[in-house]
Amino acid sequence: MKKYSKSGAYPFHMPGHKRNALLYDGTMPYEIDLTEIDGFDNLHNADGCILEVQSLAERLYNVRKAFLLVNGSTGGILSAVRAMTNRGDKVLVARNCHKSVYNALELCGLNPAYIVPNIDNNFGINTSITPEQAESAIKNNPDATLLIITSPTYEGVVSDIEEITKIAHLHNVRVLVDEAHGAHFPFSKAFPNEAVQSGADVAVTSLHKTLPSLTQTALLITNKEELIEPLAENLAIFETSSPSYVFMSAIEKCLEYCQNQKAFEEYIIRLNSFNEKCKELKNIKILGYGNDNIKNHSFFDFDISKLTVSVRGLGISGTQLADRLRNEFNLEPEMVCSDYVLLITTVCDTQDGFERLINALRIIDSECSVKELNIPPINPKVPRLALNPSECYGRVGAFTKLENSINKISLEYVWAYPPGIPIVAKGEVITKEVVNAVKEQTESGISVYSTKGRVPEEIYCII
């Protein structure tokens, strides 16, 4: 791309900036923003330089086929769900899936049956989907054709994909794993096994989330020969026909970097060092770090790259902790919840970054005191589905005050982002627990969004 931009070739083609030097201000890479001109291959029919990048991804992830995604894991999820189902199919869905999965259910006219993960009572996060839960769901829905699971979760919780896949395949159920937060798994034995290597039929993984690539770049990967063509056909629907060459070159650079084994070895050393220093913390708990033993949690496996910092019983909220990290220590977290703050680490984090974080946590920890918490065990409920998501499309409803919406059917999705997991999904009956969850989030200073944009005041539902 750099070589071509200096070749003197004049562009009587897109993009409209024409690589005009008058536009260069050091912020936008106009000079290398190319399109499908001669010699630069085609994403949807790759046989040249793009194919070389795909081949590199296939070698690194040890898969039969890797598709480059330039509109994030969302495009991969939509494409995979449509490629792996027929309209009207029954689909088993972990209820902590990203909202893109629910959009796929609606677009593809699928009938979902939800699997609700248990809650870890110490940190208030979702635990693993167990093989027993998967088997029960399959037996209760013998007509199901696909199982969709998020692993790892935002907080790094991993499910037993190998055992779940064995069970699913015995019943002719395919398995799709949203592995958006696990792109780094293949590059160190300190991380869990990746989904496709564990038997999953298809996985989607976001390079930009936990590896050094640009935002919006991801991979769709599979070992199933029979799925390659359907996946390609659906990517041509859901992925742009004008892919960014800047993004695709970022994928190439990322994959080349990931061959640097020493970089990942040094990263694990930094994580282990941070873990040791966390043992000094008296009050603040970090999931799987310091004095918190991951064996005390109901997880099949855990991704050590995620730092979930709990404030339960410390007299401050997750929002207040995030504000202190941001305003006093110039540290910006990934996600804020009422009970915890999530920080993402990657191979590109520096020792200085880890030192700044542990120093900030030491100071905040010294100012906190633990209060005895009497939190009753949380028993998550399977939401009552009155309508399939696809049946909600075009339905006429009305905006109703949140407190008056209990027992009505939602015609929109309501979620906090991140992580983008619906608090209530289209077609579900709104419960008192849903209303309380929305109120709790907003009162804690966390932004809650909805399809129609009026939550938390009103929700669009069937009267």
* pLDDT computed for residue 225 by the predictor: 98
Tokens 């395919």 belong to which residue?
174
pLDDT number for residue 121: 87
Region for 301 from its dihedrals, namely left if φ exceeds 0, alpha if ψ lies in -120 to 50, beta otherwise: beta
Angle at 219 (CA atoms; ends 217, 220), nearest 5 degrees: 140
DSSP at 336:
E
Q: How far apart are CA 171 and CA 165, in angstroms?
A: 10
- Give 283-304 as a DSSP string: S-EETTSTT--GGGS--SEE-T
Q: 81-107 burial, b for 16+ CB within 10 Å, e for fewer? A: bbbbbeeebbbbbbbbbbbbbbbbbbb
Dist CA 344 CA 265 (whole Å): 18
pLDDT at 51: 97
* pLDDT (0 to 100) of residue 420: 87
What is the C-alpha to C-alpha distance for residues 373 and 377, in angstroms, rounded to an integer? 12
Q: How far is CA 197 from CA 147, 192, 203, 371, 419, in A?
A: 17, 11, 10, 44, 25
Q: DSSP string of 5-30? A: HTS-----SSSTTTT-GGG--SSS-G
Per-residue pLDDT at 376: 57
What's the CA gap between 355 and 270, in Å, rounded? 10
Q: Is 125 exposed, middle or buried (0-12, 13-18, 19+ CB in 10 A)?
A: buried
Token output for 83: 């490629």
Q: What's the distance, Cα to Cα, between the start and end of the chain in Å?
A: 57
Question: What are the b/e assignments for 265-300, b being 16+ CB within 10 Å?
Answer: eebbebbeebeebbeebebbbbbbbbebeeeebebb
Three-state DSSP at 446 gives coil
Single-letter code of the amino acid located at 348: C
The rounded average pLDDT for each run of 10 residues, N- to C-terminus, in the chain (463 residues) is: 92 94 88 92 95 98 98 97 98 96 97 96 94 98 98 98 98 98 98 98 98 98 98 97 96 98 98 98 96 95 98 91 97 94 98 98 93 62 92 95 97 90 95 93 90 95 91
Contact predicate 427/106, CB 8 Å: no
Q: Torsion angle of alpha carbons 446, 388, 459, 420, nearest 10°?
A: 10
Residue 15 has which token pair? 């993009």
pTM of the predicted structure, to 2 decimals: 0.94
Beta bridge partners of 302: 157
Smallest CA-to-CA distance from 153 within 143, 161, 163 is with 161
Q: How far does CA 208 lie from the centroid of its chain?
A: 11
Tell me if 421 sits within 8 A of 98, measured CB to CB. yes
Long-range Cβ contact pairs of 140-144 (< 8 A, separation 24 or more): 140/113, 141/90, 141/92, 141/113, 142/171, 143/90, 144/89, 144/90, 144/91, 144/92, 144/113, 144/171, 144/173
> Which domains can be identified in the chain, with CATH numbers?
30-257 (3.40.640.10), 261-366 (3.90.1150.150), 389-462 (3.90.105.10)
- Alpha helices (H) along 141-260: 161-170, 207-210, 225-238, 245-257
